[in-house]
């Protein structure tokens, strides 16, 4: 870890990584209130054009910062020591609205934080604001409650979704860490679009809210940051069992100290530009493949021997529709006129499934999991792009065509991520390059189940070789007229 040579002024704190400011907190060189004030100043300076953090709790954050006890937090190896974070608006923070981007819940204020947020608060996180989301689900962050979130690399473009507000807030330096969640790529796509790091962990490692389907393996909660070390730091604070999530487990081995000790490069990885199944823009494929040259030069063998993903796209579409129908049935029965049409179409598809559709989808899910386990007998990691396209105009609801191929549904354009969702394997997205127009491109690294320490250790080494994280935070580009 690189430590600052001096204690930075408040104006400089937002430019530091989370791992650096937590180190300053541990050394008493700064206070949690210093960080809160720095975050407030940055949010007020840049978020008008981005709209990443529309629900702010500045006064509560100030009060919480004053109550942080150094003596108590220093005894907790998982503590964030009063570090300000952003929380996605699909998660509950006590006393702060949770809208899900829907006018139905515009005035919904939960009385308690959900399991994901409570675990972080128990370990010294201070919530600065709620981050913007698409209405219920989707790959472009806009909704009828708070409007659209714009990409800080180019304010005319989308941040992706659904963790778009979290990603934009991180890329522009408004907070040091942020929560995300991921069903079909909701954490990885915006990480790619904004040039930050996002981890989709093993199901159960990060506890989920009780409103979610208790036995579902598709939806996970995960940490987001500006570099791999920061994501590892947040994972340490956010992992563990909570009573609201029966799948959650302690994961005691996921400690930052353990992660940093693992420096061995993988012997053999596989790369695919499209997993044999999806459309991808040629420039994205080229950038991702070119990034592996550094890895190859360090001695890692790179093959094209990937598992067979045939049928996995259809299987995911079925299981996603089923999950949305389970979660949304009471709401759609009462408020269908207040829900986006593409969401209604997907929920209604879930209602129309027959038992044979579900059996086939579950067979496909089991098949790709076992295929991945066989793959890991000969390879350490699977690598592929994290998005098939570069950020698109924010006014477009979704991508309708990729490299001349028409997308059949509003989620087809991020199938490169939801194919990986079906494997149940932990996956990290790191930035690997830039398009000719200067937009970030991300790459997915897929590891073995419960292998987060090995996955993040490799990702950190790969990240260091690319050197892109040093460009963050970015100053938002002016909106063109």
Encode 90-129 in three state secondary structure.
CCCECCECCCCCCHHHCCCCCCCCCHHHHHHHHCCEEEEE
pLDDT of residue 422: 98
DSSP code per residue over 128-161:
EEEEP--SSS-SS-EETTTEE-EETTEEEEE--S
Tell me the per-residue pLDDT of 52-71, one tens digit each, with 9 for 90 and over.
999 999 999 999 999 999 99
Tell me the per-residue pLDDT of 161-216, one tens digit each, with 9 for 90 and over.
999 999 999 999 999 999 999 999 999 999 999 999 999 999 999 999 998 889 99
- Give the DSSP H or E segment for 178: strand 177-182
pLDDT of residue 233: 95
Q: How confident is the model at residue 79 (pLDDT cuts 50, 70, 90)?
A: very high
Q: Report the percent of the chain where pLDDT is more than 70.
A: 94
Read off the pLDDT of each residue in 400-405 and give the average, rounded to a whole number. 95
Three-state SS for 330?
Answer: helix
Residue 251 scores a pLDDT above 80 = no
Residue 481 scores a pLDDT above 50 = no
Three-state SS for 290?
Answer: helix
Q: Which two tokens stand for residue 9?
A: 């002024």
Read off the pLDDT of each residue in 90-105 and give the average, rounded to a whole number. 96
Tell me the per-residue pLDDT of 275-286, one tens digit each, with 9 for 90 and over.
999 999 999 999
Q: Is 478 a residue of the active site?
A: no
Question: Which residues have CB under 8 Å from 320's CB, separation 6+?
Answer: 183, 184, 218, 346, 411, 418
pLDDT of residue 3: 45
Task: Report whether 231 contacts 218 (CB < 8 A).
Answer: no
Q: Which of 162, 166, 172, 415 is catalytic?
A: 162
Q: Which of 38, 39, 88, 192 is catalytic?
A: 88
Q: Which two tokens stand for residue 12?
A: 């400089």
- How is domain 10-471 classified at the CATH fold level? Amidase signature (AS) enzymes (3.90.1300)
Q: How confident is the model at residue 141 (pLDDT cuts 50, 70, 90)?
A: very high
Read off the pLDDT of each residue in 319-335 and give the average, rounded to a whole number. 91
Q: What are the start-end ranges of the H helices in 199-311?
A: 228-238, 256-261, 282-297
pLDDT of residue 162: 96
Point out the least confidently predicted range of 106-110, 340-344, 347-351, 460-464. Answer: 340-344
Residue 87 β-bridge partners = 130
Q: For the chain, how far is it from start to end, CA to CA, in angstroms?
A: 42
Q: How confident is the model at residue 4 (pLDDT cuts 50, 70, 90)?
A: very low
Residue 479 scores a pLDDT above 80 = no
Q: Is 69 a residue of the active site?
A: no
User: What's the angle, vertex CA 43, arms to CA 42 and CA 44, rounded to 5?
Assistant: 90
Residue 446 β-bridge partners = 382, 427
pLDDT of residue 478: 63
Residue 113 β-bridge partners = none
Q: How many other CB atoms are there within 10 angstroms of residue 323's CB atom?
A: 20
**Which backbone phi and psi does 446 adopt, to 5 degrees?**
-105, 130
Q: Is 465 a residue of the active site?
A: no
Residue from 377, 33, 442, 480 nearest 228 by CA:
442
Point out the least confidently predicted range of 68-77, 143-152, 158-167, 250-259. Answer: 250-259
Orientation angle between helical segments 228-238 and 452-466, nearest 10 degrees: 160
pLDDT of residue 1: 44
- Give the DSSP H or E segment for 182: strand 177-182
Question: Which residues have CB under 8 Å from 361's CB, separation 6+?
Answer: 314, 315, 316, 318, 319, 322
Residue 409 scores a pLDDT above 90 = no
Which residue is associated with the tokens 């001096």?
6
Task: Report whether 213 contacts 184 (CB < 8 A).
Answer: no
Alpha-carbon span 295 to 277, nearest angstrom = 25
Question: Which residues have CB under 8 Å from 8's CB, separation 6+?
Answer: 15, 16
Residue 77 scores a pLDDT above 60 = yes
Point out the least confidently predicted range of 139-148, 249-258, 301-310. Answer: 249-258
Tell me the per-residue pLDDT of 6-33, one tens digit each, with 9 for 90 and over.
566 666 899 999 999 999 999 999 999 9
Q: Which two tokens stand for residue 3?
A: 């430590």
Read off the pLDDT of each residue in 236-244 and give the average, rounded to a whole number. 95
pLDDT of residue 220: 98
Q: Which of 166, 186, 291, 457 is catalytic?
A: 186
Read off the pLDDT of each residue in 408-421 and give the average, rounded to a whole number. 94
Read off the pLDDT of each residue in 356-371 and give the average, rounded to a whole number. 98
The residues spanned by each domain of the chain are 10-471
């Amino acid at each position: 870890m690189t430590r600052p040579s001096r204690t930075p002024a408040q104006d400089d704190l937002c430019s530091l990584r989370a791992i650096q400011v937590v180190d300053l907190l541990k050394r008493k060189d700064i206070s949690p209130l210093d960080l809160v004030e720095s975050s407030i100043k940055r949010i007020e300076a840049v978020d008008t054009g981005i709209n990443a953090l529309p629900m702010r709790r500045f006064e509560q954050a100030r009060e919480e910062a004053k109550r942080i006890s150094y003596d108590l937090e220093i005894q907790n190896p998982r503590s964030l020591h009063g570090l300000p974070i952003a929380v996605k608006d699909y998660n509950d923070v006590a006393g702060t609205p949770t809208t899900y981007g829907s006018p139905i819940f515009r005035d919904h204020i939960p009385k308690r934080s959900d399991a994901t947020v409570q675990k972080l608060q128990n370990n010294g996180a201070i919530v600065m604001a709620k981050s913007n989301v698409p209405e219920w689900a989707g790959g472009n962050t806009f909704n009828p409650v708070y409007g659209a979130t714009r990409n800080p690399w180019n304010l005319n473009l989308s941040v992706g979704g659904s963790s778009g507000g979290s990603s934009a807030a991180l890329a522009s330096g408004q907070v040091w860490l942020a929560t995300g969640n991921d069903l079909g790529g909701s954490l990885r796509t915006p990480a790619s679009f904004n040039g930050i790091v996002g981890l989709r962990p093993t199901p159960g490692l990060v506890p989920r809210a009780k409103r979610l389907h208790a036995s579902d393996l598709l939806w996970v909660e995960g940490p987001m940051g500006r570099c791999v070390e920061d994501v590892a730091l947040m994972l340490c604070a956010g992992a563990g069992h909570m009573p609201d999530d029966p799948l959650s487990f302690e994961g005691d081995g996921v400690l930052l100290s353990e992660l940093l000790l693992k420096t061995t490069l993988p012997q053999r990885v596989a790369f695919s530009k499209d997993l044999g199944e999806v459309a991808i823009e040629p420039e994205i494929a080229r950038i991702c493949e070119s990034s592996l040259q550094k890895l190859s030069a360090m001695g890692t063998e790179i093959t094209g021997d990937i598992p067979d993903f045939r049928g996995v796209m259809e299987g995911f579409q079925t299981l996603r529709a089923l999950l949305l129908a389970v979660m949304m049935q009471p709401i759609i029965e009462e408020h269908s006129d207040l829900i986006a049409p593409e969401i209604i179409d997907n929920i209604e598809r879930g209602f129309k499934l027959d038992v044979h559709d579900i059996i086939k989808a579950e067979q496909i899910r089991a098949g790709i999991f076992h295929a991945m386990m066989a793959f890991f007998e000969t390879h350490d990691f699977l690598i592929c792009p994290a998005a098939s396209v570069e950020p698109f105009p924010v006014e477009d609801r979704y991508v309708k065509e990729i490299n001349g191929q028409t997308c059949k549904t509003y989620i087809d354009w991020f199938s490169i991520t939801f194919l990986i969702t079906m494997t149940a394997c932990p996956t990290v997205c790191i930035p690997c390059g830039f398009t000719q127009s200067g937009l970030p491109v991300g790459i997915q690294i897929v590891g073995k189940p419960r292998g987060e320490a090995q996955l993040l250790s490799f990702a950190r080494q790969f990240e260091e070789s690319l050197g892109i994280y040093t460009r963050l935070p970015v100053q938002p580009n002016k909106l063109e007229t």
